[in-house]
Structure 1
Amino acid sequence: MKLFVVTSVGFLLAVEALALKPVYFQQPRAERRTAHIRQVTTIPSRAARVGLDLCPTCIDFTGQAINTLLNIILNAGVVGTCGELCQLLEQKTGSQALGAVCDILCDVVGIEEFIKLIEKADLDPIYFCELLKVCPIFDNGDAKITMLSVTPSRGPQGTTFVVDLEFVSKNGTGTGQIDLEILAVDGLPLGDAFLNKQSPPGTYGLKFNIKAEPDPNCDPTQQECEQWLPGNYVVKVAVCNGECGSAHPHSKIYDQNSTNFTLTG
């Protein structure tokens, strides 16, 4: 099994050097609370990491910036150069890092094609970065989940539940996601999705920590807050090519499975 440990939620992308905050994929369903989920292992790649890896950098950037870019394109009229578009993005977000990455990616194809691809991607970061040709496309991939468990299976509020996932790929996987969803007792949507870079054939393992306690930073006047009530919680996991649930090309669910844990009173 191929495992290695990371020290923060999700993936530590190369773009951290540019001070971008990690962003997590939100499914085109209801917004999901992610504060309680921590990935403690991730999927390695045999490719050597030299300099800035544009695929995860592009996906991370797009997840943070695509809505703002679409609004700029719709409201600003004609934008003549990559520099003008990316400067507007920097002004709107207050982030020099986003502006810098915007310049890098826009220069790959030029301003006209960059704008066309933003509109065509329809809020799908992986598809956009594949259209931009900075993320590899591999449609003959596969994955079969061979193990999914939660430890401990029962515990009181405050328990950290560890989700163990293992899957096998005979042909390798394309650029995609590992999607984790929790069906909570109170019906609030919980979950997250993590980048799965194109990987060779092999057996892969991941671990996720789920802290079953109310989020102290959740403001009940602004949104419903997960209370982690006693009862049964279903954990659903999917391994996907492209964004899980996307209708765009180069997207499919390789495999999915579910398990559960019980929160005691």
Structure 2
Amino acid sequence: MSEMLYWQALNRAMDAEMAADETVLTLGEDVGLYGGTYRVTEGLMAKYGEWRVRDTPISENSFTGLGVGAAMLGLRPVVEIMTINFALFAMDTIINMAAKIPFMSGGQFPMPLTIRMPGGVAKQLGAQHSQRLEHMLMNVPGLRMVVPATPQDAYWQLRQAIRSDDPILVLEHELLYFSKGDVDEATLAPPIHQAVVRRPGRDITCIAYSRMLPLALQAAETLAAEGIELTVIDPRSLSPIDWDTCVRAVEQTHLCLIVEEDCRFAG
């Protein structure tokens, strides 16, 4: 076990999967020579070459479509979209191709496609760069979505996503990239879509994910000093959602507080 930053855990996961499977490749803006906007692909081009670590033009719809085609032909592409806000340019490809081709082909074409992208409010960003948009994408049949909040989950959920034959969105957060945590690369990873109880309590069940999880845990510490104990649930996945874990916790406390950085309606 070693302590590392969130982005380093993602980088380690990418390296491990590319070393284990030569069909794994990554593509996106600045993923090659620059090493990724948030350093997630740092060093990978030097190690695996430009054919497996591909810099692309600024055309999200085009290179996401390239990822879809590569997945249809048996590769395992990891597409990096610089921010979920730019994924709006690739919605046709994500929703009408990645999510639907496996069904429209009667299963002849699986879609082992992973799309990584950060989102949310960060520092020095305008409104058009500060959205989350998971409320839109988690409602698309055929798409799966995970929201790792810790370096450990970032490591294992990315590796599990790459190994999956389904299209999976790995939704990261700009303000988590430099958060620290222990990463055990040898531990047995929980199922990719399984929720986790981060803190047990008796009074209120709080469900929080991504950047909101550390804030919820901080609030739980403050409330504990006043005699109020929160159960903090990290869903880890938004599509599908592990309802069983969430419902069991609410049945114990009878109160539920959801903390998310998304739209109030249909969030």
Superposed pair shares fold, TM > 0.5: no
* The structure with more radius of gyration: 1
TM-score in terms of structure 2 length: 0.26
**Greater fraction of residues in strand:** 1
TM-score in terms of structure 1 length: 0.26
